A and B are shown apart, each in its own frame.
Chain A
Amino acid sequence: VIAGASPGAAPAPAASGPANAPVAPAPVTAGIQPLLDGARKEGQVTVYSLADPSILARLQTAVQDGYGITLNFQRLVDAQLEQRFGAEADADNVQADVIMTGDPGFADQAVGKGWLAKIDSLPALASWPRDFWNGAYARVGVGTVGMAWNSNVVGASDAPKDWTDAVKPVFQGKLVMADPRTAAANMAWVYVMRQWFGDDFLKRIAAQNPVWTQSVVPGAQSLASGAAGLQIPAVHAVIVSLIGQGAPIKELTPDRTTGVETLAAVTTGAPHPSAARLLLNYILTPAGQALLNANGTSPLPNIPGTTSLPSQYVSPPIVEAAAQSDQLVSLLGLQ
């Protein structure tokens, strides 16, 4: 096990980040008038997304105020999203106009099955980096993962400095973790931990007897209440919004980390096709990026409120992790 703190671990930013600022209406940018006209006729748009509910709520406000369109969202973790959307697409009964997932394996599968709309042109694509768009889905943002702890439960001297601190005796029975089976990015984090720290690290995490949650969001809430002491992996955007509400949480993003890369796509057979394209377009504009990636990282440069990636960030190895999921889950004592 590699021990010790990485010297340049990023400090947690101030609580009053853009996540708690008032929401700016989605702007009517160049070239979207035809889409806007169509979308207004459709009146609404439905999104399935793994994003933090507070971010989705802000998206809802921006679209309502800027475009006069009602946005319905369902916050679904990858496995649920894939199940729900897959079943609906299979039954030829698509309900979602736009999906946002952290699982490129599923996205590619959906492309193969013709579930995602091929889009040739959107106004915002003109200034969108080519590497982040493949004709069906865009990689719209990166949220790094880190460690978060309740400062009432974990004393300052016990505050973790790197991933390996999570197996210290002081965190016995105090860990809260998202079940990696429900989200591809969480499985990728487990995979990366194994790569860096070996099987033994995962076994020692299991020995800490963590509480498992369906996703990082309820885990962060139990962290805020003090029901749990330390959350790994913690998603920065989720933690920041709780800190903004006064939760006694501190966080740390180790230099060596991975994250959640969010993909967004319009569905084939979307019930509201113009509104779907309009929403995706907004997400790809600087304004949409600032909203979606508040406290995250954007593919576009110079977006206010976003941060740059930690020095040793690795892209989540989703496909590799999925291939080893049974082993990883069993090392964590989950099966």
Chain B
Amino acid sequence: MTVTVWILIGLIAVLILYPLVTALLRVGVDLATGADRVQLTDLFAQSSLYLNTALLVVSAGVLALVVGSLLAWINERTDATFHTLGRVLPLAPLLVHPLASATGWVVLLDPRVGLINGWLRGGLAPLGIPLSTGPFNVYSFPVLIFVSTLQLVPFAFLIVSGALLRLDPSLEEASRVSRAGPLRTLLRVTLPAIGPSLSNAAVVTLILGIGLFTVPVIIGTGARIDVLSVHIYNLINAAFPPKTALALTFALMLMVIVQALLAVQRSSVRVGRSAAVGGRGFRAARLELGPWRIWARAFMLGYLCAAAILPLLGLFMVSLQPFWSPAIDWGQLSLANYRYVLLENRDTSQALVRSLILAGAGATLVMLIAAILMLHLYRAGGRARQFADILMAVPATIPATVLGVGLLIAFSRPPIKLYGSPVLLLLAYFIAALPFAARTAEAAASDVSAELAEASRVFRASQLRTLLRVQLPLALPGLAAGWVMVFVFMVAETTASALLSGTGNLVIGRILLDLWSNGSFPQMTALALLISLVDAACVVLVLRLTRRNFEVAVS
């Protein structure tokens, strides 16, 4: 068993490091030989690229942290909570394909034909404010930040609400008993106690923000706001010959920035400062918000509307039309676009199926491997545990663009040619999902008491048998919740997919992007809605089958 574990760890190490090292060597060679004419000056030719990226990532990251923490606090600590529903609600946007939510906002806020703009103009005109465009413009920096924030909130929420759930509320009660007001309690007790988690959430949102591609490619391109992730994609995809070496150099620079961020975080958070007293399962009195309760609830619902409901409704309107038009001609509405993407166009229907199969296979594979490692190592500890922990966390620090470029270069030339094969995408998804899979598997492993495994061993069951017959079944609910999240993530993956998916291995992210930039917008909206629907259906089904709800994933 120990040998198996080490073999698994070794395989994962090779899988992660091979593309990165190959990419690094390639850049070194290109810089040294001047092939592809990469020069360091090319990296800094366009300073707006860095300013835009920094402005977007920092603003959206900070906003997401604030909104996500607020949602978590309302849910875990106040009487405005919707209880279980409240824990699912902030995650609902994850079910909406990120390209769908970005294009949904285009439909709503296009300066000329956006639906919301149209209604607002209709309302403003009688007030003596006649407008021919606006008042909002989707192709602007504020909206770019707004929609990016919506995408990042669930991740901040997950981390912060997890921390609040683990934090013994008796500390906060003690504060209240000593006559400290709610605000004072929040600032002096709650926030410091979950400080490490907050800083973790901040770093996670920043890293995700740096890798964010879908929103900038739709809204940023229209607004002519160039950011690094899209720039890298364009270097490879919109130029001939492709400037792969330059793209790679940019990508590696992103990684350096991310590593620097992590170093800062590590040095600023000293381990053991968190005041996580006690265990889980507290049912403390919730803070009564009084008149604020309704506002807190409105805030949660407002978030749900902005992140999922409104953009989906906008897309739905367009998907029934032959071409996108703000003036809805009821006689023209039909399901023709759905028929086309599902039945008539083989590419789209196959990509839909391929994405679901890949995500199903990928999620199963990554959860299985993470479960075997974590179940075995959780009690065993030792060097293997340390090594596995570090290794499986590494991909969280690799922006998806870097992963895509690295895999593209590493596996599209001899000795290993996987270009055009679904296996290449499976590898990308596997690597990208590894950190999350490891974390959920670890949480699931902690639910399995050591005594049961020991009992099994007392009865002379082999380690493998113990794992398969005792530990895995016990950890299954937790693992299933993790599986769901990984599955959803893989279906939605667009950044690496855009780089790695081609004729033989078209997946949904790539097709949506192609339909957006080259094809029919109503067809794209139909497909985006379908994939969100199928996604949601799969999730509900799996949760039904495992008779658990999202609470497991969150806690």
Docked complex Cα distance between A220 and B373 (Å): 53
Interface assignment of A320: CB less than 8 Å from any CB of chain B: no
How far apart are A126's CB and chain B's nearest CB, in angstroms?
32
Most chain B beta-carbon neighbours within 10 Å: one of A53, A80, A225: A225
How far apart are B135's CB and chain A's nearest CB, in angstroms?
15
How far apart are B94's CB and chain A's nearest CB, in angstroms?
27
Q: Which stretch (B318-326, B479-487, B536-544) binds chain A?
A: B318-326
How far apart are A316's CB and chain B's nearest CB, in angstroms?
17
Known: A91-B417, A93-B417. A242 touches B521 (CB 8 A): no
**Contact (Cβ within 8 A) B346 A72:** yes
Residue in chain A with minimal CB distance to B336: A245
**Contact (Cβ within 8 A) B323 A91:** no
**Contact (Cβ within 8 A) B502 A95:** yes
**Contact (Cβ within 8 A) A242 B323:** yes
Contact of A225 among B113, B241, B332 (CB under 8 A): B113
Known: A91-B413, A95-B504. A226 touches B241 (CB 8 A): no
Docked complex Cα distance between A91 and B110 (Å): 41
Interface assignment of A326: CB less than 8 Å from any CB of chain B: no
**Contact (Cβ within 8 A) A226 B520:** no
Residues of chain A within 8 A (CB-CB) of B345 are 57
**Contact (Cβ within 8 A) B325 A79:** no
How far apart are B401's CB and chain A's nearest CB, in angstroms?
16
How far apart are B226's CB and chain A's nearest CB, in angstroms?
11
Residues of chain B within 8 A (CB-CB) of A281 are none
**Contact (Cβ within 8 A) A91 B419:** yes
Residues of chain A within 8 A (CB-CB) of B332 are 246
**Contact (Cβ within 8 A) B420 A74:** no
Residue in chain B with minimal CB distance to A334: B224
Residue in chain B with minimal CB distance to A106: B240
Mask: chain B, 309-351; 1 = CB below 8 Å from A; 0 = not: 0000000000000111111010010000000000011110000
Interface assignment of A82: CB less than 8 Å from any CB of chain B: yes
Interface assignment of B551: CB less than 8 Å from any CB of chain A: no
Mask: chain B, 406-420; 1 = CB below 8 Å from A; 0 = not: 000000110001011
Residues of chain A within 8 A (CB-CB) of B240 are 78-79, 82-83, 86, 106
CB within 8 Å of B: which A64-88 residues: 70, 72-80, 82-84, 86-88
**Contact (Cβ within 8 A) B238 A80:** yes
**Contact (Cβ within 8 A) A221 B518:** no
Q: Dominant SS at the B interface?
A: loop
**Contact (Cβ within 8 A) B323 A224:** yes
**Contact (Cβ within 8 A) A53 B242:** no
Mask: chain B, 508-539; 1 = CB below 8 Å from A; 0 = not: 00000010111111000000000000000000
Interface assignment of B354: CB less than 8 Å from any CB of chain A: no
Docked complex Cα distance between A82 and B236 (Å): 11
Q: Which stretch (A154-162, A209-217, A272-280) binds chain B?
A: A209-217
**Contact (Cβ within 8 A) A215 B518:** yes
Residues of chain A within 8 A (CB-CB) of B390 are none
Known: A86-B240, A224-B323, A227-B112. A77 touches B346 (CB 8 A): no
Residues of chain A within 8 A (CB-CB) of B329 are 246
Contact of B519 among A48, A75, A80, A211 (CB under 8 A): A75
Residue in chain B with minimal CB distance to A92: B417
CB within 8 Å of B: which A181-202 residues: 181-182
Mask: chain A, 31-57; 1 = CB below 8 Å from B; 0 = not: 000000000000000101000010001
Known: A83-B239, A86-B240, A87-B242. A96 touches B503 (CB 8 A): yes
Interface assignment of A269: CB less than 8 Å from any CB of chain B: no
How far apart are A210's CB and chain B's nearest CB, in angstroms?
10
**Contact (Cβ within 8 A) A246 B110:** no
How far apart are A325's CB and chain B's nearest CB, in angstroms?
11
Mask: chain B, 197-236; 1 = CB below 8 Å from A; 0 = not: 0000000000000000000000000101000000000001
Residues of chain A within 8 A (CB-CB) of B139 are 211
Interface assignment of B237: CB less than 8 Å from any CB of chain A: yes
> How large, as a class, is the contact surface on chain B?
35 or more
**Contact (Cβ within 8 A) B420 A86:** no
Interface assignment of A104: CB less than 8 Å from any CB of chain B: no
Interface assignment of A319: CB less than 8 Å from any CB of chain B: no
Docked complex Cα distance between A11 and B139 (Å): 35
Residue in chain A with minimal CB distance to B236: A83
**Contact (Cβ within 8 A) B347 A72:** yes
Contact of A218 among B239, B326, B521 (CB under 8 A): B521
Interface assignment of A247: CB less than 8 Å from any CB of chain B: yes
**Contact (Cβ within 8 A) B322 A88:** no
Residues of chain B within 8 A (CB-CB) of A87 are 242, 412, 419
Most chain B beta-carbon neighbours within 10 Å: one of A77, A79, A93: A93
CB within 8 Å of A: which B94-116 residues: 110-113
**Contact (Cβ within 8 A) B413 A225:** no
Docked complex Cα distance between A222 and B329 (Å): 17
Residue in chain B with minimal CB distance to A173: B133
Residues of chain B within 8 A (CB-CB) of A227 are 110-113, 324
How far apart are A158's CB and chain B's nearest CB, in angstroms?
14
**Contact (Cβ within 8 A) A79 B419:** no
Residues of chain B within 8 A (CB-CB) of A218 are 516-519, 521
Contact of B419 among A86, A93, A173, A245 (CB under 8 A): A93
Docked complex Cα distance between A182 and B238 (Å): 6
Contact of A53 among B241, B322, B325, B520 (CB under 8 A): B520
**Contact (Cβ within 8 A) A217 B519:** yes
Contact of B238 among A79, A217, A226 (CB under 8 A): A79
**Contact (Cβ within 8 A) A217 B326:** no
**Contact (Cβ within 8 A) B224 A212:** yes
Residue in chain B with minimal CB distance to A74: B503
How far apart are A163's CB and chain B's nearest CB, in angstroms?
23
**Contact (Cβ within 8 A) B323 A221:** yes
Known: A93-B419, A221-B324. A86 touches B241 (CB 8 A): yes
**Contact (Cβ within 8 A) B325 A225:** yes
Docked complex Cα distance between A81 and B344 (Å): 23
How far apart are A310's CB and chain B's nearest CB, in angstroms?
27
Residue in chain B with minimal CB distance to A174: B112
**Contact (Cβ within 8 A) B518 A224:** no
Docked complex Cα distance between A41 and B376 (Å): 52
List 29 A-B residue pairs with CB atoms under 8 Å apart, sorted by A's residue number.
Answer: A46-B503, A74-B347, A74-B503, A75-B518, A79-B239, A82-B240, A83-B238, A84-B503, A88-B419, A91-B417, A93-B417, A181-B238, A214-B518, A215-B518, A218-B516, A221-B521, A222-B324, A224-B323, A224-B324, A225-B113, A226-B113, A226-B325, A226-B326, A227-B110, A227-B112, A245-B322, A245-B323, A246-B329, A246-B332
Known: A153-B112, A227-B113. 9 other contacts (CB 8 A): A72-B503, A82-B240, A87-B412, A182-B238, A214-B517, A218-B521, A225-B324, A242-B323, A247-B323
B interface vs A, CB < 8 Å? 110-113, 133, 139, 222, 224, 236-242, 322-327, 329, 332, 344-347, 412-413, 417, 419-420, 502-504, 514, 516-521
In the A-B complex, list the 3 residue pairs whose CB atoms are closest, starting with the nearest.
A82-B240, A95-B503, A214-B517
